[in-house]
Amino acid sequence: MGWKAFSLALRPRAPLHIGAGTEGNLQRTRPYVTGRALWGALTARLARDWPDLRGDYAEAGRRVHAELAFSYLYPTCGEEGPIWPWGTTADAFRWRFLGSLASTAIDPSGGGAHEGSLHEVEHIAPVSRDGRAIILRGYLFAAEGTELPWQAVLPRLQLGGERGYGWGRVEVAGLEEVGPEHILFGMYDADPGTWPPVLTARDCGEGGTWLLAHALAVDVQESGALRRACNGLSGPVEPLVGRETEVASGFGARLSAVRIAWVPGTRVVAGRRFRIGPCGVWEGV
């Protein structure tokens, strides 16, 4: 089974928070939108809006996993390619694209702040510090024959956290079908006859390129031993874990299994191959 690829551009209409842990009272954001955040937003919107799913979030999530694949989305100011971490320093990126908002919980009995409740939430801003509209750019792959109305729900997505305050709202700034030679910012080749898509790293200088998503670094064997899953990479790794919602346990009550992965921006040698797995996480092949 093959696929069709689409270049996707989303314009944030509100701050966007993709959780990356806390430092003191600061809730950090990732400098990109993960595949998990996009999967969750599509799942929620399809379950609510598509009558065929009848509000079945579990089935909606399963269908999105089975019939769609996506890259991470990266903030730009209109440029064709990603900005972080390939075209700027980390400090310059944070100054240009990120902001934060401080808030506290109010004690209704006295009208003052609850002790210890002051916190600050970092976010990807809708507008850069130099006054330009920020665009989130990435790619979406749709399996041949899919009937999911994913294009219809794109304008109503809410991405990331703090959605109860209106954060994460986006509008579609561009959606264009592209051929395999025009995907992933020209940094990878893809086999159009495989599903999920299989990617091959190009030589974009110095014998390789960069990861555009998390890539699994180890596999867990039946014996419990860990095996390195991707050779030809060099860079930091981190644990991937998130909250999951089930009818039995309630909203966000269960944690997903922990997986160890190289982070986006890791160097990868040319010719290294990956499969786009669930939630946009890459797996070595």
pLDDT tens digit string along 140-184? 999 999 999 999 999 999 999 889 888 999 999 999 999 988 999
* Surface-to-core class of residue 236, CB atoms within 10 Å of its CB (0-12 exposed, 13-18 middle, 19+ buried): exposed
Q: What percentage of the chain carries pLDDT values higher than 70? A: 80
Length of the chain as a residue count: 285
Distance of CA 42 to the CA centre of its chain: 12
Residues 6+ apart with CB under 8 A from 62: none
What does the pLDDT average to over 203-216? 92
**CA angle, 26 then 280 then 276, to 5°:** 150
**CA angle, 199 then 200 then 206, to 5°:** 140
Gap between the Cα atoms of 11 and 255, Å rounded: 30
Determine which of 30-44, 89-103, 109-123 has the lowest per-residue pLDDT on average: 109-123
Higher-confidence residue of 259 and 119: namely 259
What are the tens digits of pLDDT across the range 216-245? Answer: 987 544 444 444 445 678 778 899 876 565
List of domains in the chain:
3-104+118-284 (3.30.70)
* Surface-to-core class of residue 10, CB atoms within 10 Å of its CB (0-12 exposed, 13-18 middle, 19+ buried): buried
